[in-house]
Amino acid sequence: MGKNPSVDLLKGALILFVMIGHAMEITHQQHPILWIGAGFRMPLMIGISGYLLNLAALRAASTRQLFARYGRRMLIPWGVAMLVYVMAGGWPVGWTAPIDLLLLPPFHLWYVPVLFFLVMLARLIPSPPILLLAIGTPVSLFIMASFGLNHGAIGTAPLALDSRFLSYPVYFFFGMVIAEREMPKRYLAVALLVAGLGMSWWSGLASGASPVTLMAARLLMCLGLIALLPAISALQLRLAPLNAIGRESLFFYLWHPMAMALLMAGGTGTAGLLTLAVPGLFLASRAIMRLPELGRMLGAAPLQSAPPPSTAPVVQTV
């Protein structure tokens, strides 16, 4: 599936939700929007990635082509960001650090390895999306019900895995199913109703609830929103600032905590973090693009450098 302005706009809006949430968290602010946004922003991003995945091209590509594509677009920028954040944060580094950081990524850096893991599952399990969803859903439900929606290690054994590797397949594979079997327009109202009911239910659970209740509300909200992706794509919506952020979502996602930390060190408050960080990151991405190699390393390489959608395994990075 090629680029779509509505999807870029939606990605841009979700990145802003991520930045708003992180700005509020690091300044210890509390507001219902923080709880609501935390409920759907990353599951929906994962769902968009599944929705945009070109499964046929993914499975047809050679291993070399696959790692060249994802290495350039995802893994190298993630590795550079990981190195910068680990060094800046004083993260303990031992001989097992590379494996530890991959299986239990610190800070916000879990997204890329989880996404790549899901992409590899879709490549290695030779089943249609509906069967992948049937396989992944019980695993996701078990992990969410057993360990809750808060992220953390599954168990205490060495090489324990971040729970998000196994709790997010349901959203990724559902996105793939929606792309393959576009929902008839007559079910649009049903998807809207499910998403609305789920969001209303989730909004009332901020004070605490059982893991199963939280899981049910979040699933209704997020799966309903993912089911709306074909209708959103068909609208061909454009809003230049959000579309620009959406096109550079990986760069914004990887580096916004660093930008916010630098602004906080200068005494900037919550509102100022967003007011300054968003245009600052945009200008930085434009400047870095003038140096293609540096841009690729930091996740700001021009999208035109990617292979065409018809031949490349397309997946949404962030």
The predicted structure's pLDDT at residue 310: 45
pTM tops 0.75? yes
**pLDDT value of residue 196:** 96
In a domain, 318, yes or no: no
What pLDDT shows up at residue 273?
Answer: 86
75 occurs within a structural domain: yes
Contacts of 90 (CB under 8 A, 6+ apart): none
Domain count, the chain: 1
251 inside domain: yes
* pLDDT at position 317: 61
Domain that holds residue 108: 5-305
The reply to whether 310 falls in a domain is no
Tell me the per-residue pLDDT of 85-134, one tens digit each, with 9 for 90 and over: 988 877 777 777 888 888 988 889 999 999 999 999 999 999 999 999 99
Q: Judge whether 154 lies within some domain.
A: yes
Residues of the chain predicted below pLDDT 50: 1, 303-311
Residue 37 maps to a domain: yes
| Domain assignment of residue 316, yes or no | no
Please check whether residue 317 lies inside any domain of the structure: no
d(CA 183, CA 47): 15
